[in-house]
Amino acid sequence: MRPYYQIVDLRRIYSIHLLVVGSIPERLPRVTNTHIERHCDTIDYICLYPYSGWKLSLWHRYLSFIDRLKHFIKGDDRNFVADLGDSNYLRRNKALPMIARMKYDRVHVFRLYLNSIAEILKNLGLDSFYSIDIDDIESEARKSISGLYYRNGDFIKASKLNNESIIFFNIETKSMPGYDQIFTSSAIDRDIIQNRFPNKVITALPNVVPITKSAKNHRVNRVFTMLFVGTMGYYPNADAVRFFAEHIAPVLREKSRRPWHLRVVGAVPDQTWIRRFANHPEINFAGWVEDLELEYDEADIVVTPIRGGGGTRIKILEAFAYGIPVVSTVKGAEGLDIENGVHLLMEDDPRRFASACLQLMNDQEMADALSRQALDLVKTQYGPQAVYSAWTGQSLGLVT
C-alpha cells in the first residue's frame, strides 16, 4: 500500500519508470493488469539472485562466514545480509546499464535492501537526485524483535536478530549519506535518523489508507467479535496472538458477561502453529482472505496487542478508516499521531487491555465516539493526499 500510493501521487509530478525487484526468477512478481501498471510509463524487472533452494542457502552461509571471518581478522564492520542480493550477479545484469544511460530527475528507492541496485546505477554513471524510503528503520526493528524473542525465552533467535540489527546499522551508516533525501514512516523514525545524519534532508512520510465512502455507527454483534489482522509469518504478529491468548483471554473469560471471540485474519505458516491454540476455542484463524472489507464490516473492535517491530501499523489506520474502534498496546500504535482515549484505547498491561476491550463491549457511546474521532484523524492526516503533501512540501528545486 505504501509504495502504491507513492506511485499514484508521484504520477502527478513525474513520469514513472518502475523497476520491479524480485528475489529469484521463478518468484518474480509481474505488474500486469493492475492499478499500478496504468500509472507507469515503463516497467522493467530484475532479480536479486540467480538461483534458489539449496544453492541460495549455500551462498548465504558461505558469504556470512566470510563476513564474520573478515570481522574477526581485520576488525571490519560486518555488512552482509542476504536481503541485499548478490552484488556480483547484479553488476552483470544487462538491464541496469540501459537504465543508467537514461536521464531521470529522481531515482527513488523503496526500502534499504534495494540500496545495492542504487549503488550500481551510480557506478554506471546515472547522475540524478537520489531519495530512499526506508519505511521502517531496519536496525531498530530488528533490535525490537530481538528483545521480543529474548522476552519469550528464544535466546538463539534473539541473538541472531541482534546480530542482524548491528549489521543493518552498519549498512545504514554507510549507505544513508549517499542519498539526497530520506523518507521515514513517522516523526519518531525521522528524529532517530536525523540524529544519526544531522546534515541530511529527512522527511516523515506517513503510511496512508484509502478512506471509506462514509462513516458508520458501531454495531455490536450478538457474539462480540474482535479482529486481529496480520500474517503469522511475522514474529511480532505471532507474538501478539500468543500474548492475547495467554494473558488477555483469561481475563476476558473471567469478566465478560457476553460471549466473544477473536478472529485472526492473515496467512498462517502451517497448521501446527494453529494447534498450539487448541485450548483457546474463542480464537479462530481465518487465514488469508480475499476481501478485508468484509472482515472489518463484521468486527466490533480491532485489537493490536503488538509488543515489538518497527514502522507504523497500517492495520490500525485501516480500522480507523472503516470506523472500527481499536484497542492497542503503546508499541502497536507507535509512530501514529494519536491520543489515548480520543482515537483509541491504549494499554500495555494485559488486565488493563482486557478491561479496555470490555469497556468497548459494554459502552456503545464510547465506541462510536472513538470511531468518529479516529476517522476524522485519518481523513486529515493519513489519507492518500498526505503522500502528495509530503513530496510537494519540500523546496528541492526538482525538474519535473
CATH topology of domain 2-209+387-392: Rossmann fold (3.40.50)
Considering the chain, what is the average pLDDT of its residues?
88
Tens-digit pLDDT profile for residues 106-151: 999 999 989 999 999 999 999 999 999 998 899 999 999 999 999 9
Closest CA to 44 of 20, 16, 24: 20
In this chain, the answer to whether the domains covering 2-209+387-392 and 224-381 adopt an identical fold is: yes
Give the pLDDT score at 399.
29
Q: Residue written as cell 529469484?
A: 24
Is the four-CA dihedral 213, 218, 220, 224 of positive or negative sign? positive
Tens-digit pLDDT profile for residues 144-194: 999 999 999 999 999 999 999 999 999 999 999 999 999 999 999 999 999
Give the pLDDT score at 56.
85
Give the pLDDT score at 30.
66
pTM of the predicted protein model: 0.88
**If one looks up domain 224-381 in CATH, what number appears?**
3.40.50.2000
Residues with pLDDT less than 70, the chain: 24-33, 213-221, 394-400
Segments making up each domain of the chain, as ranges: 2-209+387-392, 224-381
Q: Are the C-beta atoms of residues 226 and 260 closer than 8 Å to each other?
A: yes
Strands (E), 250-371: 260-265, 283-287, 301-304, 326-328, 345-346
Please return the burial class of 234, using the count of CB atoms within 10 Å of its CB with bins 0-12, 13-18 and 19+: middle
